[in-house]
Amino acid sequence: MSDAGPRDLTYMRRVAQDRELDVTLTDATEDRITIGFWGPEARAKLQTVVEDPAALEPEAFPFAALRPIRIAGREVTAFRISYVGERGWELHMAYEDGLAVWDALRSTGAIAVGIETYANSRRMEKSLRLQNADLRTEYNLFEASLARPKVKEADFRGKAKHLEYAARDHQPAMLCTLVMTDNIDGNGIARYA
């Protein structure tokens, strides 16, 4: 499970208990891993390490599709998605296959960055909000001062409530965003939150 996993597992357990469902929920967090592979050259680089490069072409692998692929002889479930505003994939695999896949991806010249880089700075550039980091569930986008200036015309679940919140003269809560203007410490070293 990712950062929201413990919350989701707790929610599912509560729903199962409240509804008296006869289900078994298993936390398989340590059985699987995910590597995000994004950027303007993601497709070209990934094509150099998969067994079937043509399978990654846009016509064969449209946005939001899931496909099995093989990297370094390992089975990988590729999910063509992006949270960072650039094309790319989430690559899901068995834990024991992770290092071989990682090494293959790094052999392409791809630069490894941590979640704080792609999930925060790049995601925020795209105006995506990360629940439990940028936005807690008890606040809406307007209260958190994170709403986009426009609402898409197409209907979506929650649109009516979103528009209701937007129409308020005053939000019941207002949060602020802190901006770091100087990241150099006393020793002259650049530090990042």
pLDDT by residue for the chain (193 residues), tens digit each?
Answer: 455 667 788 889 999 999 999 999 988 888 999 998 988 899 999 999 999 999 999 999 999 999 999 999 999 999 998 766 678 999 999 999 999 999 999 999 998 876 666 555 555 555 555 555 555 566 677 776 667 778 888 887 778 888 888 888 887 765 566 677 888 888 888 877 6
Q: How far apart are CA 190 and CA 161, in angstroms?
A: 42
| Terminal C-alpha separation, the chain | 24
Domain edges within the chain: 27-117, 136-193
- CATH, domain 27-117, list 3.30.1360.120, 2.40.30.20, 2.60.15.10, 3.90.550.10: 3.30.1360.120
Q: Which amino acid is at 120?
A: N
Q: What pTM does this model have?
A: 0.61
Buried b (16+ CB within 10 A) or exposed e, 83-109: bbeebbbbbebeeebbeebbebbeeee
